[in-house]
Amino acid sequence: MSWYQQGAELGDAESARTAALMAFYEDEFKDTKIEDFKKIFDKALELEVFSVAFEYGRVMELLAKDLKRAEELYRIAAAHEDGRAMLRLHDVLFKTNEKESFDFLWRAVNAELSEAELRMGDIQKIWKNPRAAFIYYVKANLHGDEVNAPYKMAECLLTGYGCEINLDCFWKNAKEAYDKGCVEVCYLLGSVYRDGKICARDMAKAKAYFEEGAKRGSKQCKDALAKF
């Protein structure tokens, strides 16, 4: 860190970028004082290393509790096509400027950011647009590694929400979500084996999925286990 900071002081942008990212992500620097964080990140921005603006925004929001400055930094990051910043601005602005909030979400969707597409699918579900919701879940699964994307697809394929019922694809996507560590899919799979509507009823498998879901933190699975 010391060498990178010296490089930054001498005007080396890559050193400034590395110092900022180390300060933010490395556990060794988690107790860094806010003023020291600011110096590291301000030097990076001074050298036009705008790729760290999102992390700087998180520092100001979470550590300094300065939401105004955080929003400014998220806007800088979004202006340089950082999808993470677009999503955070969607959250930050939702209650005060809904139109602009959705403008940022759409920008992230158009950039094919998986998390944004997953969110848009959920929004379309709230708006009762099942076909659009399913399409966004498919896109989210194609464009990234969101653990909930295959789960959402599995739900749709099981019930015919926005698509044809397809049990082969349901099992495939449910397994993918489970293998990726999705919490919610444990309850879905447990329910399938408990109810026996699309496969042979198997209470042992149902219990095993509910137990795994409980380990992953699912309240639904814990409640289901209590009924065994």
pLDDT tens digit string along 30-65?
A: 899 999 999 999 999 999 999 999 999 999 999 999
Q: What pLDDT digit, counting tens, does each position of 125-154 carry?
A: 999 999 999 999 999 999 998 999 999 999
What CATH fold (topology level) applies to the domain 1-111? 1.25.40
Question: In this predicted structure, what is the pLDDT of residue 228?
Answer: 86
pLDDT band at 84 (very low <50, low <70, confident <90, very high): very high
H helix count then E strand count, the chain: 14, 0
Contact present, 162 and 135 (Cβ < 8 Å): yes
The residue whose two tokens read 């992230």 is 108
Separation of alpha carbons 37 and 25, rounded Å: 12
Q: How many residues does the chain have?
A: 228
